[in-house]
Amino acid sequence: FEYFNQEQIINIYRYIMLEQRVLFFSSNYTLLNPFIYGMISLLYPFEYQYQVVTILPEDNFITLESITPFIGGINMTYDDNFFSDRDLTISDHVVIVDIDHSQISIVIPTELGDFQVVDFCKDIPEFPKNSRKRIEKSLNNIISDLNKKRSQDKGESKTELKREGHIGMPNITIDTTFNDNISEAFFDFNANLLASYSKYLNFDFYSSQGMPDFDSLFKLEECLKEFYSCDKDFYSKFLSETQIF
């Protein structure tokens, strides 16, 4: 939250939760490990199931051509020619989190063999509208409280503080209460996303081999009927395509 506003943090979190290929860039190597694992920790009680390499050596950049999800850290300043300059071939989009410049973009390969950098990818569903409003409100309240406390402690006026959703300049120490509040907000968000999923579990069913069969253990189609049509893309992808669930 010292480098990205709350909307950006929510989007980074969405990309991780939906198991996209996500690359974090920073010229400061000390930022990569805490930033990446800090984001992953917000998934609780879910657990990330794929490879995480917080600082990927340049000799191993070829692994970025993997078709499986991953989270990686690159200790350098990002530029849009990163993939083409290194003759890296990617078959699908990669999310770029540029910590140095507080920017998020998506690199998409084109039919011509080059790359297009965009801000939005239709293949990555948005969070359900009501759930997103819930986490936005929680984060705004937490950040507002922190800014008020800092204003009181430093005698600063409200107008001197950073824009809403952005708590200030880098290298400012954040107390444990703030971290705990953020973790609780995302835990509440995660629980709210799947508040009624237990209704669609069928523990009585087992396959002929004696092992649970997911298609029958979880009634996906019945579950999807419960959600608004605008939210079904997210739930369909999250419930049927990710290893987190």
- Encode pLDDT of 25-70 as tens digits: 999 999 999 999 999 999 999 999 999 999 999 999 999 998 899 9
State how far Cα 72 lies from the chain centre.
13
What pLDDT is stored for residue 176 in this prediction? 80
pLDDT digit string, tens, across residues 143-202: 888 888 877 776 654 444 444 455 444 444 556 888 899 999 999 999 999 888 888 887
Average pLDDT over residues 111-118: 82
Tokens of 241: 């395509």
Given a contact cutoff of 8 angstroms between Cβ atoms, the answer to whether 13 and 1 are in contact is no
C-alpha count within 13 angstroms, C-beta hemisphere, residue 153: 7
Length of the chain counted residue by residue: 245
210 confidence band (pLDDT: 50, 70, 90): low
Neighbouring CB atoms inside 10 A of 236's CB total 16
Check pLDDT > 80 for residue 230.
yes
What pLDDT is stored for residue 216 in this prediction? 66
pLDDT > 70: percent of the chain:
85
What is the pTM for the complete model shown? 0.86
- Type of residue found at 47: E
16 confidence band (pLDDT: 50, 70, 90): very high
